Chains A and B, each alone.
Chain A
Amino acid sequence: MSSRKIHCTLEVNHVEQDLLVHADETLLDVLREQLALCGTKRGCNHGVCGACNVLVDGMLVRACLMLAVEVDQRPVVTVEGLADGRGYTDIQQALVAAGAIQCGFCTPGFVMALTALFAREPRPDRDTIRNALSGNLCRCSGYVKIVEAAERLAELPR
């Protein structure tokens, strides 16, 4: 493996980051190891579990399946960037209120998937919620509470 690094500029949680990355480093590698943003989890590292979900250009993606060089000049939002340091978002609060958190490892991925869902569809029904979460695994199998949290949020007057 060549040690030659590539310069790229990522805008992570509204902060511009100048980085040197290896061509085979993923966005997940860079977030966790260079930027110490460890809210984005490394679960399966091959796209199945959804624990590394982040937003790139406002779109939900797997950080483990995107090479960091391909994210050059594009905005990234991780779970740390959602509430902007001011408490929690409605989605995060809904998960807490419903008791939708067990060990918590998968939670950031679910939060990002729900953030993408509610951004495009503020009143999703159960089927839509379950579909939106189809790419997220919870090894505690706590899906019922997670779906309930999203359903309650969808019904809240806003």
Chain B
Amino acid sequence: MEYLAPETLDDACRALASDGAYCLAGGQSLVAMMNLGLATPERLVSLRRIAALRGIETATDGALRIGAMTTHAELAGLDEGTAAASLLAQTARVVAYPAVRNRGTIGGSVALADPAADYPVALVALDGIIEIASDRGTRSVPARDFFRGMFETSLAPGEIVAAVRLPAPRPGTGVAYEKLCVVAGDFAIVSVAAVVTVEENAPGTTGARDTDIQVAVGGYGMKPILLSALGRLDDPVGAAAQQLASHGDPPGDHRASSAYRRRVTPALIERAVAAARENSRRRPLRARERS
């Protein structure tokens, strides 16, 4: 096996053009698969020296651009001043174990697209965008289109996930990530990311009102399931469960049966939506005024 560690994205894309070439980001899945004999790269293209894949940029309106090589541990420590940053930080904190969080990257997780992974769920809920680089330049794909199935994405051979972009959340937006797993750090049985926009003192009401609710569910299918337009409803959780049912039965596996997933998911959605409302109230006032 050949090992290359190019310093530019262009060189990496060129190196990836050959058959049997794999990208190595944090290696927390790929090296495990190599150890198990499930992946046998002929060439490894390490992304560790590429400065363009690092760093987190926050625009003045609160939009985020996160370099693909950003680790889970770095994201777990994000300032939760904006809703998007808060959801990413909440999600990153429950990805695998401390030692894995120190090495694993958001770009690696997104590119692998494990159906039980955490970030895909959060990114779909947040209307995130995946920035993809290749020797033909860069292109952007909405997260909801990027994930296509089990370990399947819209990445073409020779393409690299360069960054993840999150649009500025609307004022009054709260977020929550609820993950149900057998033990802390395991992949999810089911997980739910909720994005709730709350309008305080809404006209015609005595208090706050949800103007928009968007939920993504992971572990329920081969890719995250988006449930949207749930705001301004009497029973948003019931409506979400109804939308979810139209996606068919969830899978059964060694973690839980299909029936179990079907049974617990509405409760998890309810919990996530309630926590997102609470998160909206907790967000510092200055951040809400600014956004």
Q: List residues of A whose CB falls within 8 A of some B CB.
A: 1-2, 4, 6, 22-24, 26, 45-47, 50, 53, 59-62, 64-67, 69-70, 113, 116-117, 130-132, 134-136
B264 lies within 8 A of chain A by Cβ: no
In angstroms, Cα B104 to Cα A47, docked, is: 11
Asked if B98 and A47 sit within 8 Å, CB to CB, the answer is no
Hey, which chain A residues are within 8 Å of B99, CB to CB?
50, 53, 60-62, 113, 135
In angstroms, Cα B32 to Cα A24, docked, is: 11
In angstroms, Cα B31 to Cα A45, docked, is: 10
Given known pairs A50-B97, A65-B100, the reply for A23 and B27 (CB within 8 Å) is no
Most buried by B among A22, A50, A70: A70
Most buried by A among B99, B100, B183: B99
Most buried by A among B2, B73, B102, B185: B102
Given known pairs A23-B44, A45-B35, A65-B27, the reply for A135 and B1 (CB within 8 Å) is no
Asked if B100 and A134 sit within 8 Å, CB to CB, the answer is no
In angstroms, Cα B183 to Cα A130, docked, is: 11
Segment 23-48 of B: residues with Cβ below 8 Å from A: 24, 27-28, 31-36, 44, 46, 48
Hey, which chain B residues are within 8 Å of A70, CB to CB?
24, 27, 46, 48
Query: Could you name 6 residue pairs across A and B whose Cβ atoms are closer than 8 Å?
Result: A47-B100, A61-B103, A62-B103, A65-B28, A135-B97, A135-B98
In angstroms, Cα B35 to Cα A45, docked, is: 7
Beyond A2-B1, A67-B31, A134-B184, 7 extra complex contacts between A and B, CB < 8 Å: A22-B1, A26-B31, A47-B31, A62-B103, A64-B35, A135-B96, A136-B97
The secondary-structure label for the interface of chain A is mixed
In angstroms, Cα B73 to Cα A94, docked, is: 27
Segment 12-65 of B: residues with Cβ below 8 Å from A: 24, 27-28, 31-36, 44, 46, 48
Hey, which chain A residues are within 8 Å of B100, CB to CB?
47, 62, 65, 135
How many B residues face the partner with a CB closer than 8 A? Answer: 27
Shortest Cβ distance from B99 into A: residue: A60
Shortest Cβ distance from B30 into A: residue: A65
B151 lies within 8 A of chain A by Cβ: no
Shortest Cβ distance from A112 into B: residue: B99
Segment 223-242 of B: residues with Cβ below 8 Å from A: none
3 closest A-B pairs by beta carbon, nearest first, are A135-B97, A23-B3, A46-B32
Asked if B1 and A113 sit within 8 Å, CB to CB, the answer is no
Asked if B102 and A59 sit within 8 Å, CB to CB, the answer is yes
In angstroms, Cα B46 to Cα A24, docked, is: 12
In angstroms, Cα B185 to Cα A53, docked, is: 16
Given known pairs A24-B1, A70-B48, the reply for A47 and B102 (CB within 8 Å) is no
Contact of B31 among A65, A130, A136 (CB under 8 A): A65
Hey, which chain B residues are within 8 Å of A132, CB to CB?
98
Separation in Å of the B29 CB from the closest CB of chain A? Answer: 8
Hey, which chain A residues are within 8 Å of B185, CB to CB?
134-135
Asked if B98 and A65 sit within 8 Å, CB to CB, the answer is no
Hey, which chain A residues are within 8 Å of B44, CB to CB?
23, 67
Hey, which chain B residues are within 8 Å of A61, CB to CB?
99, 102-103
Hey, which chain B residues are within 8 Å of A50, CB to CB?
97, 99
Hey, which chain B residues are within 8 Å of A62, CB to CB?
28, 99-100, 103
Hey, which chain B residues are within 8 Å of A46, CB to CB?
32-33, 35-36
Hey, which chain A residues are within 8 Å of B32, CB to CB?
46-47, 64-65
Asked if B28 and A47 sit within 8 Å, CB to CB, the answer is yes
Hey, which chain B residues are within 8 Å of A134, CB to CB?
97-98, 183-185
Hey, which chain A residues are within 8 Å of B103, CB to CB?
61-62, 65-66
In angstroms, Cα B31 to Cα A1, docked, is: 16
